[in-house]
Structure 1
Amino acid sequence: MISVETLSYQQLAKVFDHAILKPEQTKDDVVTGCELAKKYDVKSVCVKPCDVKQASELLAGSDVLVGTVISFPHGNSPTSAKVAESLQAVEDGAIELDVVLNIGHLKSGSHDEVENELREVITKSKAKNPKVIFKIIFENAYLTKEEIATACKISERAGAEFVKTSTGFAKSGHTIEDLKLMRQNVSSHIEVKASGGIKTLDQVVAILNTGTTRCGSSSTDQILEEFKKAKGL
């Protein structure tokens, strides 16, 4: 059982992908977010595709990885556009790509099409840089439990390293029930990422106890400060 008492600061900090994804966030916000990420020594920043090059320059020499989102937030781009966006992100320095699957096509039952698209994006990007990590965003707010389970299996077969709950832009984000369902429907070597509505330390501890290993949040500093206060650090 994971608790505040059993966690070290480093263990908790490396759970976070600090999100800098709001459409109104500026280049100055990217600077502030990257400085925050370095200060708190989080796992990564997740920035808009147009900001990957800037973030890569700002975080060069640090232990903080650069991530971005692909076909965000709706997953509606054609395969060729998703591939091009992914390759550009890798070229600009992203090492983690959070790709929104085609939600409407998944719900249409076009499972082979969704899987083949993800496989093409992943394969072509890894040909450019084999170290790139893929997290597939489902947007669970729009999916049934059966569709979530199916998306898990599709993502694993396509070659992803993570399955992820949400973009943070739908009507709801992560739920503990969904995280447990996702953990149950992928192999042990596939990781689970929670996002959407993560604002408190208690939420993060509950998330970690589902077997989830990564959290996307724009409230990273508040949560880590809450942890430090609780631990007397």
Structure 2
Amino acid sequence: MPDDVNTASRADLAGMIDHTILKADATRADVARHCDEALAHGFASVCINGVHAAFVADRLRGSRVKTCAVLGFPLGASGAGAKAAEAAWLIRQGADELDMVLDIGAVVEGEFERARADIAAVRDASAGRVLKVILETCLLDEARIVAACRIAAEAGADFVKTSTGFSSGGASVETVALMRRTVGPTLGVKASGGIRTAESARAMVAAGATRIGASASVAIVSAGGPTAPGGY
């Protein structure tokens, strides 16, 4: 993390961004463009739906940009066995990082052991890949955000992540700060959903985020660039 996040350079921010394209109608040309943008700007990863994982892994091969694939996305309701199988398949496709949606309903119900087992199944299947757990914080109250962060940490996740970008809200500075306080300094915190400017990205980093998920990544790192309307 930069020493002064409020004056962090755009290059600093670029290295923290998962350049994201998760819309249902994304074409192979759209995904290729995201890969080329990630290579040009030095983003941390390209975050895609699994159907594009092999293509992205091949296009990024030999670079420092990672292939990040989502699973159990966007509802988190496919079940632990299905998620574990999806994780194993994504790894065979070349995924370096996995962003899973936890069993949100289990957390809402207070069925914390069920939620923990869901994450643990993916952790066991992930062959040591970076695992980020999406909490969908807009659907949880503060106590359940804290509980979900603790569950993810106990199950061996590497990051906790705010949002899919497909529900009723995205990241907020307050929620990111709460997640950072809960997991302490050792776990990553990924802020995603509605981050479209360098200023908003820096605010998330100042609150404790160590990774940013954004589709407006180029605008974030390009002075005077247009921001993307809506979306992730």
Structure 2-normalised TM-score?
0.93
Paired with 1:53 and 1:179, the residues of 2 have a C-alpha distance of 31
| Pair 1:62 & 2:59 matched | no
| Shift of residue 116, structure 1, vs aligned partner | 1.2
| Pair 1:215 & 2:212 matched | yes
Paired with 1:72 and 1:226, the residues of 2 have a C-alpha distance of 32
| Shift of residue 105, structure 1, vs aligned partner | 1.2
| Pair 1:151 & 2:154 matched | no
Which residue matches 1:103?
A: 104
- What whole-Å deviation, never above 9, does each CA across 1:50-103 have from its counterpart, x for those lacking one? 100000011011110000101000100011110111001111111110000011
Paired with 2:9 and 2:96, the residues of 1 have a C-alpha distance of 25
- DSSP-derived class of the 2:19 partner: strand
Flag structure 1 segments of 5+ consecutive residues without an equivalent. 229-233
Given that 1:201 and 1:227 are in contact with CA atoms closer than 8 Å, whether structure 2 keeps it comes out as no
Given that 1:122 and 1:159 are in contact with CA atoms closer than 8 Å, whether structure 2 keeps it comes out as yes
Which residue matches 2:121?
A: 120
| Shift of residue 226, structure 1, vs aligned partner | 2.2
Which residue matches 2:21?
A: 20
- DSSP-derived class of the 1:166 partner: coil
| Shift of residue 32, structure 1, vs aligned partner | 0.8
| Pair 1:29 & 2:30 matched | yes
- DSSP-derived class of the 1:83 partner: helix
Given that 2:60 and 2:66 are in contact with CA atoms closer than 8 Å, whether structure 1 keeps it comes out as yes
Paired with 1:10 and 1:174, the residues of 2 have a C-alpha distance of 22
Paired with 1:201 and 1:220, the residues of 2 have a C-alpha distance of 9
- DSSP-derived class of the 1:45 partner: strand
What is the identity percentage for the equivalent residue pairs of Structure 1 and Structure 2?
36
Q: Cα RMSD (Å) of the superposition? A: 1.2
Counterpart mapping for 1:156-195 below 5 A: 156-195=153-192
Paired with 1:65 and 1:161, the residues of 2 have a C-alpha distance of 15
Match of 1:204 among 198, 201, 205: 201
- What whole-Å deviation, never above 9, does each CA across 1:11-34 have from its counterpart, x for those lacking one? 221110000111111111111110
Counterpart mapping for 1:72-87 below 5 A: 72-87=73-88
Paired with 1:22 and 1:124, the residues of 2 have a C-alpha distance of 26
Aligned residue identity for 2:109: S
Which residue matches 2:5?
A: 2
More moved, 9-18 vs 92-101: 9-18
Which residue matches 1:231?
A: none
Flag structure 2 segments of 5+ consecutive residues without an equivalent. 226-232
Paired with 2:134 and 2:224, the residues of 1 have a C-alpha distance of 27
* Paired positions, count: 222
Given that 1:17 and 1:217 are in contact with CA atoms closer than 8 Å, whether structure 2 keeps it comes out as yes
Structure 1-normalised TM-score?
0.92
| Shift of residue 227, structure 1, vs aligned partner | 7.8
| Shift of residue 187, structure 1, vs aligned partner | 3.0
Given that 1:95 and 1:133 are in contact with CA atoms closer than 8 Å, whether structure 2 keeps it comes out as yes
Aligned residue identity for 2:43: V
- DSSP-derived class of the 1:185 partner: helix
